[in-house]
Amino acid sequence: MSDKPMHFETACVHAGRQVDPVTGAVAPPIHLSTTFQRSPDYGADPYNYVRGNNPNRAQLEACLAALEGGAAAFAFASGSAAATAVFQSMKPGDHVVCTRDAYHGILRILREIMAPWQLKVSLVDASDLDAVRGELTPATRLVWVESPTNPVLKITDLAAVADIAHRAGAIAVCDNTFATPALQNPLAFGMDLVMHSATKYLGGHGDVMGGGLVARETGPLADRLRILQGNGGAVPSPFDCWLVLRGTATLSVRMRAHCESALVLARRLEAHPAVECVFHPGLASHPQHALAARQMRAFGGMLSFCVRGGADAALRVASRVKLFTRATSLGGVESLIEHRASVEGPESPTPKNLLRISTGLEHPDDLWADLEQALA
């Protein structure tokens, strides 16, 4: 192989993978063993006990680090477990500035688990850089953003937020679940950590739960995360690692199709009389379209829209779809539609007439025909 850096498409297929040196197997073998034979002097063996490390996890972590351009990666049992490890890397009394548009489960972790642990949290609209600056205190150690956000696809200026955090002596972390490394590499904008729910596009087929962190640098933060991962124990099984690694092989081609179809649907929805507004960063009408175009290679497979006539009208549309499935989650091959406020619960700030779409890999004309009949 040449020394030239691989293109992203090539890295998706090859990073972390090699032909098995023992059997010649081209697809990676799954190693279910929970323990590994040690060398006679109990020296620095690569594997020891499954929770600490194992071959399938090592392959997945090498792949994630390569795709995000980081120095180290950490696979977790879920995106939520990965996020919790980041918060646990803080000390009680530390202050976190978090986008108020973060995935509602992340906000719940901060509220229900980390606040009683004495982590101080301020929520902010991270698309407003002055507001982010305004929340910093001498105790701020972490700025957490998500871009695009769930469900209204707000965009955060990642380079600016990383700079603001660093000047305050804090680390900057981006939940890159919606964009995936195919569309955006937050570490390249100066972020210190990237977080993923691998349950979504990385796994890509709606059949595995997982999470990941990628660190820009090795050092004390990465060392701490390794302890929180291996000793905290919220780790994925070898089979789950194998499934996510299998998913990443097709990430670049899947994302291309998700993005193309989402843009087709967003444009057609925007022109439909029963639709009040559409949220998708690829639309010229999106307030941060220019920032998204600068920061992302394409605009993603997620979109949301508000139906004229309120919550009842939105629920009626969701009840009429035939090809879309009414379900939460995202990033799989099937298109999903959800009434987000119902999923988030009674305290949800999401408009009650909003429906969120995860665009799958079906033909966009078939998806549009389904939406059109549901909106009629």
Query: In Å, how far are 12, 65, 76, 207 from 51, measured between CA atoms?
Result: 25, 20, 11, 22
| 177 makes contact with ligand PLP (CB under 6 A) | yes
Using the rule CB under 6 A, give the single segment among 130-138, 172-180, 248-256, 291-299 that binds ligand PLP: 172-180
Q: Residues in contact with ligand PLP, total (CB under 6 A)?
A: 15
Count the alpha carbons within 13 Å of 375 in the hemisphere toward its beta carbon.
Answer: 22
Active-site residue identified among 94, 101, 175, 192:
175
Q: How far is the CB of 325 from ligand PLP (least distance, A)?
A: 16
Q: How far is the CB of 129 from ligand PLP (least distance, A)?
A: 21
* Number of helices and strands in the chain (H, E): 14, 12
CA distance linking residue 83 with residue 86, whole number of Å = 5
103 is catalytic: yes
Nearer to ligand PLP, 238 or 300 (CB): 300
Beta bridge mates, 49: 35
CB 264 within 8 A of CB 245: no
| 61 makes contact with ligand PLP (CB under 6 A) | no
CA distance linking residue 234 with residue 219, whole number of Å = 22
**Positions in 64-103 near ligand PLP (CB under 6 A):** 78-80, 103
Of the candidates 18, 40, 15, the one whose C-alpha atom is nearest the C-alpha of residue 27 is: 18
Binding to ligand PLP by CB under 6 A, coded x per residue (else -) over 184-223, reads -------------x-x---------x-x------------
Active-site residue identified among 57, 94, 101, 103:
103
**Positions in 34-53 near ligand PLP (CB under 6 A):** none
Complete DSSP assignment for 257-314: HHHHHHHHHHHHHHT-TTEEEEE-TTSTTSTTHHHHHHH-SS--SEEEEEETTHHHHH
Of the candidates 132, 65, 123, 120, the one whose C-alpha atom is nearest the C-alpha of residue 90 is: 120
Of the candidates 173, 221, 180, the one whose C-alpha atom is nearest the C-alpha of residue 72 is: 221
Angle (CA) 10-60-106 rounded to 5° is 110
Nearer to ligand PLP, 67 or 375 (CB): 67
91 is catalytic: no
Nearer to ligand PLP, 194 or 374 (CB): 194
Binding to ligand PLP by CB under 6 A, coded x per residue (else -) over 126-165, reads --------------------x---x---------------
DSSP state of 121: E
200 is catalytic: yes
Using the rule CB under 6 A, give the single segment among 130-138, 173-181, 286-294, 367-375 that binds ligand PLP: 173-181
Q: Which residues are catalytically annotated?
A: 51, 103, 175, 200
Give the residues lining the site for ligand PLP (CB under 6 A). Answer: 78-80, 103, 105-106, 146, 150, 175, 177-178, 197, 199, 209, 211
